[in-house]
Structure 1
């Protein structure tokens, strides 16, 4: 399946992209997506980030589908 992944902040800087289409097997999870991206972009291995599906932070065992909006988000600072 094809997944459109959006990158923000330091994640976009680490990948050199704001978005891309990633190919994964049907039934893949966020954890599998993260592993694929960390293998593809070595700089991501040392960064902390969250994955949002359809604008909600999701657990690593969440199943992905090609209709999801997927975003990698850097840590938030509060105030």
Structure 2
């Protein structure tokens, strides 16, 4: 399945892009996607970030679907 992954802030700087299409097998979880991206972009291994699925931060064991929009979000502070 193809998923659109969006990168923001320092995550976009670390990957060198703001978005890309990632090919994954069906049944992939957020945790597995994170590991795949950390293998692809070594600089992500040292960064803290959250993963949002369809604009909501969800658990790492959440299964991804072909229509999901994924966003990697850097730490943010409230104000």
User: Match of 1:20?
Assistant: 20
TM-score, normalised by the number of residues in structure 1: 0.97
User: Match of 1:74?
Assistant: 74
Aligned residues: 79
RMSD of Structure 2 on Structure 1 (CA):
0.5
Q: Residue 66 of structure 1: CA displacement? A: 1.1
User: Match of 2:33?
Assistant: 33
TM-score, normalised by the number of residues in structure 2: 0.97
Residues 1-30 of structure 1, C-alpha deviations (whole Å, 9 max, x = no match): 111100000000000000000111101000
Q: Which runs of 5+ in 2 are unaligned?
A: none
User: Match of 1:45?
Assistant: 45
Q: Which runs of 5+ in 1 are unaligned?
A: none
Q: Residue 55 of structure 1: CA displacement? A: 0.5
